[in-house]
Structure formats: structure tokens, C-alpha cells
Structure 1
Amino acid sequence: MSARPVIGEHPLTGPLTLLFAFACGAIAANLYYTQPLLALLAHTFGRRESDVGLLVTLTQIGYATGLALIVPLGDRLDRRRLICGLMALSVLALMASALSANFLMLAVLSIAVGLASCTAQLLVPLAATMADDATRGKAVGTVMSGLLLGILLARTVSGLIADLAGWRAVFVFASALSLLLCALLAWKLPHDRHRGPLAYGALMRSVLQLFAEQPVLRQRSLYGAFGFAAFSLFWTALSFLLRAPPYSLSESAIGAFGLIGAAGALAANAAGRLADGGRAALATRVFAALILLSFVSLWIGVHSMTALIVGVIVLDIGVQGLQITNQSVIYALDPQARSRITTVYLTSYFIGGALGSTAAGLAFAAGGWPGVCIVGLIIGAILCGLTLRQRR
């Protein structure tokens, strides 16, 4: 029997790229399955919906912890073993969630599910490593498209399964899907060469060193933070608009509205191809401009569903396109540090998202939907200004 090929000698084929994309989507979906189930969980455990809403926060805390403390290990450990180990943890945590006897047990398991979901951010830089220079942007775009679709479809899938078979069946489904993916990844991923005995503390210090020494990484992290701030600002405030007249939509209709954002996935490959063609600077400015312009349409959308839908599509294309362009650029900086680069970039990314979500409530309270759009226009204008000053 021939030895398993190692990363660096095994090309990123089309089928393997699609497996990465599907796996990233399924893993990211694990972070969002709980959101449509909060009312059912509150009834099952005799808790208020505000109490069970903590489960979403705990899942995100677990994810952030994995992003900060586990993802950097992808630069030092065998990534195949690390990915499969985290997938096995995901299988166990999801199945145990289905069997939860009380709220406290489910809360602890939510942290474990979030922690294991950082696997997606090991797969993205791995795809960048396995792809050649000419197709790296396209490969990252395809994988990120899968991740985005997983996020968008998670709530729909969760609601459908819960309606048919109850909330526990959602976790059984997610566990079975994770088990299948764990087996496929264990079979298809090449081995990774052990890359040295750098101590964990030194590895974590090197994350800060990368941030200090790589101006392009700082620049792209800043772009990502502003882009995700605009995204989070809009999606956090949207429910405030849609619940009130003239729309007065139900919760399920508001949830389905998010599927319009799937158009953002279409931007991924286009952004990747521009980056592969050496036109990352142009792509960055175009996508930043789309983020700015989207809030003009969104402002008109206070009284026009058509304008609102157009604004959503333009915003998601801008944010997703900017994300793919950023990642295509930063993964070319240091092939031996792509997992740590991911940690730096996504930490900035989620800080921007948290600030955008916070600004949404404050802006809506102060000025209603126009107030939200004004903040969005300011964020977009700053982002455009930054990209116009971008150095080659």
C-alpha cells in the first residue's frame, strides 16, 4: 500500500475543493442551529427565552476561544490530525446536546460545539496552502462560498427539522453530518509534515509578532473590521425595521429574509479571480464602494421593499467580496504562518462585527432606520477612504 501523500505534494483538486467548501458550510452551520430553537428550548427546560438566548452567546464564546487558542496550532501540528480531532469533538458534543437532560448541560455543550467549530478556520488556510499561486484566490473564494451558504441555510434547516421531529433531531442531524465529514476528511486529507517543536507560548507570542511586523496584514485586518462592522450593523438593526409598519413581518418571515443574502456567495469566486489576476487593489476599492452605496438603497428601503432587497444584495456582495480579497492577499504573505494569520485577521474581523452590532442598537434608538443608515454611510466612507490610500 502506498504511503499517504503529504501537504505540499498533493494538489488541491476540484473535488477536494468542493469537499472543503461543504465541510466549512456544515461546520459553520453548527454555530447557528440553535437560534431558531430558542422558544422550543425555553419550553422544554422551563426557562425564559431571554435565558436560553445565552446559548447563542456561549457558542460564540467557544468559537472565539478556539479561534484564539487552537487555530494557531495549525502552523505547528499535523493539520489533518488536528482537524479530524476537532471534528470528533464536534460529533460528541452535538450528540450529547441532543441528549441533554437539563439547561446547564446544554449550556456547557454549547461552548464545546463553538470550540470545535473553529475547524472551519483551519480548513480555509489549508486550502490556500494546497492551492497553487495562480488559483489560490479562486480556491479560497469557493471554500468561503460554502461557509457563507452554511451560515445562511443553517436557520432554515434547523427550523424545518424541528417542525418535523423536534429540536433534539436537529442536533442528531448535525452530529451525523459531522461524523460523515470527519470520515471523509480523514480519508481525503493528506498528511501534514511536523513543522518543529515551537513551544505553545512562543507560538502565541508569534501571533502578536506577525501583527507588528506585517503592515499588509494590519491593513487588511482593518478593512475586514470595517466591512464586518457594516454587515453586523445592518443585520442587527434589520429586525427592528421589519417588525414595525409598514412591513410588520413575522419572525419566520424575517428569518427567511436572510436568504436574500446568499447573493453574496456569488461574489466570492469573482473576487478570488481578481486577486489571482493581480488586481486585488482594484477589487478592494470596488467592494468597498459597494458597501458604501448599499446604504443609500437601504435608506430608501424604509418605505420600499424593492430598494431594501437591492441594498441587501449589494451589501452582501461588497462584504463577501472584500473578505475574499483580503484573505487572498494575506495568505500570500507567509506560507508557514497562515493559521496564525487567520487568527490575527479574524480577531480584528469579529471586533469590528461586535462594534457594528453595538452601534446598531444605539443608532436605531437615536435616529430610527435613517440613523442606522447614516452610521452605515460613515463606516462605508471611512472604508473607501482607507482603500484609496492603499499602497501597492
Structure 2
Amino acid sequence: MDAGITRAQRFVLAAVCAAAVSTIYAIQPVLAVAGSELGLSPKSSGLLIAAGQVGYFAGLILLVPLGDLVNRRGLIGGLLALTAVGAAITAAAPNGAVAVAGLAIAGLFAVVVQVTVAYVAAVSAPGERGHNIGAVTAGVVVGILGVRVVAGVLGDTLGWRAVYVALAVLCAALALVTRGNLHADARASGDRYIQILWSMVRLVATDRLFLSRGLITLFLFASFGTLWSGLALPLGADPWSFGTTAIGLFGLAGLAGALGARRAGRWADAGRAQAVTGWSLLLLAVSWLLVARTGTTLVWLVIGIVVLDFAVQAVHVSSQHLLTTAHPDRAGSVIGAYMAFYSLGSALGAVTTTWAYTLWGWWACCAAGAFYAMAGFVVWGFTSARTRGRQPLKVPDLPVSTN
């Protein structure tokens, strides 16, 4: 379906992605305060973060494939409404157990983000697909990084529950807006749900493009997660000793870098997705040399964050463009399976950074982040070499007659 989407629709869909993903990450800047109020010990408060991530992973496997079977416009609205319910439960939670349940529900249905990306890929004209995906996925970055700033400020002024009240209202409002302002996207697939799930397994086993992009994404977001899961550690320690609000403001640097990578969608439309992936992964590795410098000035750290998030978003957009172009009829299940690698990579980065910082300090975290970037580059180089001399990988704008 190549009906195209308008600028206003792109904005709404980017807002959907930002609001939904924020329900998972908003708890991070206010974790200590929320955990204490809910009666959780510092060690147990990590369950609040884990709940959203576990729910999200389950949703990637179980819910995103529904987009290949039903009208995605209606599915987007329904998933948003249920995300709002999860956020509302979290905001009203009287204890830790209820809050964990609320965050798990919000995370489960926050996979509306991937349904939205699949919807954009399906309704975009071929020459606009990369641009539209880049614009909409920018909303994901706004949510992940921007909510750190907003949650830090609201947490210090109105309390941590206000963050989830605001998100519940926003998700509910967007659910109504999407139903009235998006094109219908009816599915014509004759597959059954179980067949869609099985196709996701086959992708990993048989599809070389998917496997290579999945591995690149795992390492990409392991590097990304190493930064954003651990950045508060050196900034909260001597000589800086920043508070929650000040640390959250560093998300603005990442936001600037990621939004700067919106051009990656246009590069993908022009057939340069593979090349963009290669030099962006190298740029990601180099950025860690700047991120590591936190001793006497934070200028280099800020520049490094901008470069790092630019590189991550450029690779992420390129990968989604390649996969949705290669599998236009099952974009939902492909994106869902692809994002499972994202989820695993983010978790790997989070584990790495706390472990490395405890043993050796911030420099070890930065070494790990650079290692993950280079591992992704090796995967890219290996797969590029195998396709060189064979039939080249065709990216966007293929005539329909060749599919």
C-alpha cells in the first residue's frame, strides 16, 4: 500500500512512539524516589526497570506480529489505550507489586512503537519510505532521552507519580487522534497467527539479511545501553556529584545527535543504507574516546554523546529500511523479531556497564561500549564481503514488478 502519509500524520506517529516508549524509560531518573515510596529496597527497586523491559520483550514476540493480520490503524489505537492503562496503574500504585504490574502492562503494549513503524513502511511510497521511517523513529529517541529530562524535573517538583499521570493522559489522547487521522491499513494476508510466529523463527535461521541486521542491532544497542544505563554513575560521583535533574539534562545532548540523524532515512532512500551502516559503526566506536573523558571537563563528554546517538540512530533507521523493503508483506513480524535483538542488546549493555564500573570504573564501561561498536562493524564487514561479487543488495525504490 503506497498511499503516502502527510507531515501532520508523521508528527502524530512520532508522538505515538515518543509517548509509548516513555512509559518504559520514565522510571529510570526517579527510580530511587519511587522505590523508596513504594517500600522497595534499593536492591529490589531494579524490578521497576526490569518489569517494563520484560513486558516489552514479550510484546515484541506476541503482539507486534498482529500487525500483519489486522488493520494497523485500529491496532495502534488499541495498544495505545492499553499502554495508558498500564501507566495509570503505575501512577496509582499503593505498593511495589502493583507498580511492577503496571509497568509490565505498559511495557507489553508499548510495542505499539513497532506496529507504528510497520504501518509507516506499509503506507509510504517507495521513494519516501526511509524518510518517513527516520522521522517517526526520531520520536522513539525523543521518548527515551527526552523523558529523562521531563521525569527528572517533574520528579523533583510534583513527584514521580505525576510523570505517569501525564503519560497515561497523553497515550489515551493519542489513541483517539490516531483513529480519526490515519489511513486504514487492512491486511490481506491469509496467514494464521501461529504461522506468523513461526515465520519469525525461520527468519533467524534462514534469512541472511535479517540475521546480520539483528546481530548488528544487538551490538549497536549494547553500546547504546552501556552509555545510558551507566552515565549517572560517573556524573553522580566525585568530582561532579550531580543530582537527578542535572544528570537528566544530558539527555538533551543525545537528543540533538539522534535528531541530527534524520537524514539517514534520505540516504537509505538513495540506496546508501549499507555504506551508512559501516561508517556510522566506526563513528560509534570513535565516540567512546570522547565519552571516556569525564575528569576535568564535560565538554568532550557532551560532544561524544551527540556523536554516539547520531551514529546509533543512523544505523537503526538504515536497518529498518532494509528489512521493511526486503519484506514488505510482513513488516510487522520482521520488525518485531528485529527489535527483539534491540531489547537483548539494551539489556546486555545495562548489565555490562554496572559490572564494569563496579570493578574498574568508567574507563572500562567506555572500553566495553567501543568493543560492542567494533563487533557490530565486524558483522557488517563480513556480510558486506560475502555479498560483494554476488548479486548486490538492492535497497529502496525497487519496481513492484521485481518483487
The answer to whether TM tops 0.5 is yes
Equivalent residues in 2 for 1:1-392, closer than 5 Å: 8=1, 10-389=3-382, 390=384, 391=387, 392=392
Identity of aligned residues (%): 31
Counterpart residue type for residue 211 of structure 2: R
C-alpha deviation, 1:96, in angstroms: 3.3
C-alpha deviation, 1:163, in angstroms: 4.0
Does 102-111 or 37-46 show the bigger shift?
Answer: 37-46
C-alpha deviation, 1:226, in angstroms: 1.4
TM-score (normalizing by structure 2): 0.89
CA distance in 2, matches of 1:386, 1:226: 9
CA distance in 2, matches of 1:252, 1:167: 12
C-alpha deviation, 1:366, in angstroms: 4.0
C-alpha deviation, 1:112, in angstroms: 0.9
C-alpha deviation, 1:360, in angstroms: 2.0
Does the residue aligned with 2:26 lie in a helix, a strand or coil? coil
Does 29-38 or 131-140 show the bigger shift?
Answer: 29-38
- 1:266-317 Cα deviation digits (max 9, x unpaired): 3332111111111112211221111111122223444431221121111111
CA distance in 2, matches of 1:354, 1:97: 22
CA distance in 2, matches of 1:319, 1:223: 11
- 1:62-89 Cα deviation digits (max 9, x unpaired): 1111111100111112212222221221
C-alpha deviation, 1:164, in angstroms: 4.1
CA contact (8 A) 2:218 2:342 kept: yes
Number of matched pairs? 385
**What root-mean-square deviation, in Å, do the aligned CA atoms of Structure 1 and Structure 2 show?**
2.1
C-alpha deviation, 1:368, in angstroms: 2.3
CA distance in 2, matches of 1:288, 1:174: 33
Q: 1:127 to 1:365 in 2, by over 3 A?
A: same
CA distance in 1, matches of 2:154, 2:243: 19
Counterpart residue type for residue 15 of structure 2: F
CA distance in 1, matches of 2:36, 2:298: 34
- 1:158-213 Cα deviation digits (max 9, x unpaired): 33334443333333222211121011101012223242453322221111112233
- 1:327-375 Cα deviation digits (max 9, x unpaired): 1111101111111111221111222222222222333344322322333
CA distance in 2, matches of 1:235, 1:329: 27
Q: 1:384 to 1:165 in 2, by over 3 A?
A: closer
Does the residue aligned with 1:51 lie in a helix, a strand or coil? coil
Counterpart residue type for residue 370 of structure 1: W
Counterpart residue type for residue 58 of structure 2: T
C-alpha deviation, 1:108, in angstroms: 1.5
Counterpart residue type for residue 319 of structure 2: N
CA distance in 2, matches of 1:318, 1:129: 26
- 1:216-249 Cα deviation digits (max 9, x unpaired): 1111111111111111122233223223333332
Counterpart residue type for residue 84 of structure 1: G
CA contact (8 A) 1:142 1:268 kept: no
CA distance in 1, matches of 2:33, 2:363: 34
- 1:18-47 Cα deviation digits (max 9, x unpaired): 111111111111112223333443443333
CA distance in 2, matches of 1:9, 1:79: 15
Counterpart residue type for residue 64 of structure 2: V
Does the residue aligned with 1:17 lie in a helix, a strand or coil? helix
CA contact (8 A) 1:264 1:313 kept: yes
Residue 395 of structure 2 corresponds to: none
Counterpart residue type for residue 328 of structure 2: P
Does 243-252 or 347-356 show the bigger shift?
Answer: 243-252
CA contact (8 A) 1:23 1:181 kept: yes
Does the residue aligned with 1:50 lie in a helix, a strand or coil? coil
CA distance in 1, matches of 2:229, 2:161: 27
CA distance in 2, matches of 1:132, 1:302: 49
